Structure 1
């Protein structure tokens, strides 16, 4: 049986890898312009491969095309014959320039876009709002108590913000299920800034987004830097896509490829396996997939079992990458 983990303390079981659906945004809006529009057939095939490979949950958001990603996800699930309740759906409310009351006002839109699939995990996308975190959590708690959502999460919350959210929900007798954070082998700040530590203490699942560093850890940009020019959106301007950044991460990619050769896996599959195995059940990952082969890679990572010495070897090489070295204390491996 495929390994399942509990989402926080909610009793909801999910696969250690879910499918991030940002790339289903149809190139619409602030969030959607990061990726090119994908044909419906491609999105449906990605969802089909994910389901058949054991992925049981999907993460989307209001800002991903202002509903386009949610609609594409629902369409793909229906195309695959999935019934409501067969999978776990996570989405997010966009808090910037809004008040907590907007959570309820926009929830009907989330339900409509995802219909007929219910919102299982509803998350606050950023800790930036005209309302306090406590007010936001209280509106979320109302939705939970009304049976409209099954779990409450946050995203991009610091330790301080996460603690405020947890405590506000605890006063209502509701657990904070998850904090979705950028986390990969080139960005391990949550290991040293208290986020992962508090998550472990409070039983909050960390959902790692961009677990492949937006494709850098696949090694494809090291092999063919010309691919960077073809990227849509601003990521091509990030330092890690520049020649100096590629040079810094190359030893890590080489290590991932070397480990992969021993188990017939790609660098990306090894990086994903490291993410979901190094931290036990405390961390799950949501890689995206803009091509069917990406989805196949994600599901292969679910079955890939790394040896402890391989996990530690990757850990050590990662620490030597400039920028990672400065923020990751040696004693964080578990």
Structure 2
């Protein structure tokens, strides 16, 4: 298949492993980059392939070897996987052994009862589609995207185990599970000889549930890592909304961020956090990334980007000195849990 007669095949940067720290995923043998790249948003069919390709390849050149996907990501559903599969086929195929590719299943992607939920049918069928989308024989991590209370956990876990036994996944994870559900899933997986590698929760200065509900403590005790998503709270932990809502901002057309939450309370708290960041010589986004990565249980933080410039900026978060106790105390004062949530 040809993707353009004059499009040059990418040659990865030779110093890509000198640019980014890697961290061990729990008690496993797997290292992940401190920052991983998520294709959750802005990697659908409504964005430029050339720009998307440039961002993915630049991320790899920066040392980001972990690319996180899901059957649901688009729009339309599966478009992000198909985009990445196109880049993999043309540019990254020689580096497949260096990539950690993850995908997820279980969130609704269609009206059929087999296109949602945690049944064996749903999860394993989705995985087959994902492998075709990505153009690879296996993924490195296969997640149950969300718990399904209508399906026995034993069935959901059994599907994850089968994916590993069939050679279609090397590791398994769960996402959006409560600590209690995670504990039960980990126990079932351990009994089947397929340990839980990672949990993917939402975690940020404005969403502290992993601290409050015991997930961080469970990760330390049980030996799995955390790959956290939305560390920038959908852009609320950047300087984008300090003076209002820009015309091209995500808050104007996103189902995950409502303009209603960008109120005076949010702006006061975000402005205070921004001042803390400025005193450290960094941006609010860089501060927010450092903040989630301060936790030893957090193996990696997922970031997205709409440009290579934005990607470079976020990766530079790792260049700043650790947060001091007095700085963490000030962040706690202004980074109030629940800020920016929809009513």
TM bucket normalised to smaller: 0.7 to 0.9
**Aligned partner (choices 214, 221, 224) of residue 194 of structure 1:** 214
Change (3 A) 1:18 1:174: same
- Is 2:325 the partner of 1:319? no
Secondary structure of 1:271's counterpart equals helix
Q: Is the 8 A contact 1:8 1:176 kept in 2?
A: no
What SS class does the counterpart of residue 277 from structure 2 fall into?
Answer: helix
Q: Retained in 2: the 8 A contact 1:209–1:287?
A: yes
234 and 103 in structure 1: CA distance in 2 versus 1, 3 angstrom threshold: closer
What is the CA-CA distance between 1:68 and the residue it aligns to?
0.5
What corresponds to 1:69 in structure 2? 80
The runs of 5 or more residues in structure 1 that have no matched partner are: 28-36, 327-334
Name the residue aligned to 1:105: 125
Residue in structure 1 matched with residue 292 of structure 2 by the alignment? 275
* More helix by percentage: 1
Contiguous gaps of at least 5 residues in structure 2: 1-17, 109-115
Moved more, 174-183 or 76-85: 76-85
Q: Is the 8 A contact 1:44 1:79 kept in 2?
A: no
How far 1:128 sits from its partner (Å)? 2.3
Cα 1:78–1:266, aligned 2, differ >3 Å: closer, same or farther? farther
2:203/2:209 contact within 8 Å kept: yes
Q: 1:191 to 1:134 in 2, by over 3 A?
A: same
Distance 1:322 1:43, change over 3 A: closer
Q: How many aligned residue pairs are there?
A: 309
The structure-2 alpha-carbon separation of the partners of 1:76 and 1:297, relative to structure 1 and needing over 3 Å to count, comes to farther
Q: Take 1:77 and 1:294, find their aligned partners in 2: how far apart are those partners?
A: 22
Task: Provide the TM-score with structure 1 as the length reference.
Answer: 0.85
Backbone CA RMSD of aligned residues: 2.3
3-state SS of the aligned residue for 2:246? helix
Alignment of 1:1-334 (within 5 A): 1=18, 2-26=20-44, 37-65=46-74, 66-83=77-94, 84-95=96-107, 97-98=116-117, 99-116=119-136, 118-227=138-247, 228=249, 231-237=252-258, 239-259=260-280, 261=281, 265-276=282-293, 278-280=294-296, 282-302=298-318, 304-309=319-324, 312-321=325-334, 323-324=336-337
SS at match of 2:147: coil
TM-score normalised according to structure 2 size: 0.83
1:9 and 1:175 in contact (8 A); partners too = no
In 1, are the aligned partners of 2:237 and 2:284 still within 8 Å (CA)? yes
Structure 1 residues 254, 76: closer, same or farther in 2, change over 3 A? Answer: farther
Are the equivalent residues in 2 in contact too, given 1:40–1:72 (CA < 8 A)?
Answer: yes
Residues 51-60 or 6-15, more deviating? 6-15
- Would the alpha carbon gap of residues 146 and 9 (structure 1) be closer, same or farther in structure 2, given more than 3 Å must change? farther
Q: Following the alignment from structure 2 to structure 1, what is the Cα–Cα distance between the partners of residues 98 and 120?
A: 30
Shift in CA distance, 308/137, structure 1 to aligned 2, threshold 3 Å? same
- Alignment check: 8 A CA contact 1:169 1:176 kept: yes
